[in-house]
Amino acid sequence: MQKNLNEWLSYLEQLHPCEIELGLTRISKVAKELDLIHFDATVITVAGTNGKGTTCAFLEEILIQAGYKVGVYSSPHIQRYTERLRINHLELSESEHCQAFAKIEAARKDTSLSYFEYVTLGCLQLLKQAQCDFILLEVGLGGRLDATNMVESDISVVTTIGIDHIDWLGDDRDKIGFEKAGVFRAHKPAICGELNPPQSLKDYAEKISADIIYANQDFCFEVEENSWSWTGKKTITGLSHTLMPMQNASTALAVIEALNLNIADSLIRDSLQQAKLAGRLQKIETDDQFDIYLDVAHNPQSAQYLAEQIKQLSADKDSNCRVFAIVGMLEDKDITGTFAQINNQLDDCSLISLDCYRGASSETLLKHYQASKNRQCNVNCFGNVESAYKSVINKVSSSDIIVVFGSFYTVSDFLTFSQG
């Protein structure tokens, strides 16, 4: 009997004893059986603590508008499993994913695969069938031992390096930088978008003779009042400000330059302005006068950027603008550090419990919130995002902003109830 997608995903969750098991031995064995190591397409692998998804989104938009067929594999999804793979912006059907899983199941024999490994192989199978010109692979965790790293890439990217996933990657930037640098390939372009890369990354790039290209050394960007400019081997001016980080747009432009594609500056300007990604300062359209933004900022580095954007958005909106936050996070994140980066921009904070694996309770969030050192605001605890939102909307006015942030689960839960 054929399985539907939900049945397949339930099966994958029970197949392997560990949710995460880093290492390439098992997945590479199955990938070789299915010829999923080498692709005819140009493969770009993107690693980093933050900014992977937005860098891929900028690249995707530029390459599609330039007339290429582009496949993107990313994780995790927000609402639908099928979000993890898109070909020229379009998700594939559930039945196509099921067919890919059936091929993986037949090929793996007695090899045990984790959920992420199985999913990665399934999406790679579909990418191989799609015959893309470019494939963008977003690394799931780290780089060196992540399932995506068994694919031979043509260009590798590290966007940013911050402290996250310390149980898997280490507790300092030097250890984490080494893990991220594991996506670099000998004698091939390696783009480093991190403005202050740790020595471990530099040493690894030199050791394998990667053709390393550094932000602020080989390319840079300059922000002006109404636009910004980018300089690599050439300069592109008149770029529009975006809600997604310009640092990631700059990194994407370094990749485009390394590809040696003849793409007009006007097309690049249009593409960067139109690029978007769910859950990254995503504005929700409602009938209400107040604005709602969703963001998956869940560590200090991403919270710092979100705070900067909130400050600008509230200043642009109204001198009386208040910011109401609804926050849910996983318990293994640097929750105190995240709050410390964003507290000063918040006037009201609703903490919610997440009903998922590793989900933190609202009471746990409250302890971390109180431990953070910056300005404290009005704070309340709720059982879920829906109850928090129903409380918040009784307090906001048309000049205010609501920002829902933290885990992907938080954004997913908000979208599920608000669209239901």
Give the tens place of pLDDT for each residue, 24-59.
889 999 999 999 999 999 999 999 989 999 999 999
The ranges of the chain with pLDDT < 50 are 165, 168, 170
- Report the distance separating Cα 196 and Cα 202, nearest Å: 11
pTM for this one?
0.93
Give the tens place of pLDDT for each residue, 223-269.
998 999 999 999 999 999 998 999 999 999 999 999 999 999 999 99
| The domain over range 5-274 is classified in CATH as 3.40.1190.10 | yes
Helices 385-392 & 408-418, crossing angle to 10 degrees? 70
Per the structure block, which two tokens stand in for 194? 């991190």
What are the structural domain ranges in the chain? 5-274, 282-418
CATH node for 282-418: 3.90.190.20
- Report the distance separating Cα 296 and Cα 412, nearest Å: 10
Question: Nearest CA to 61 among 131, 112, 136, 141?
Answer: 136
Residues in CB range of 182: below 8 A, 6 or more apart: 47, 142, 143, 144, 145, 149, 204
Radius of gyration of the chain (CA): 21
DSSP 8-state assignment for residue 188: S
Question: Nearest CA to 97 among 214, 9, 215?
Answer: 9
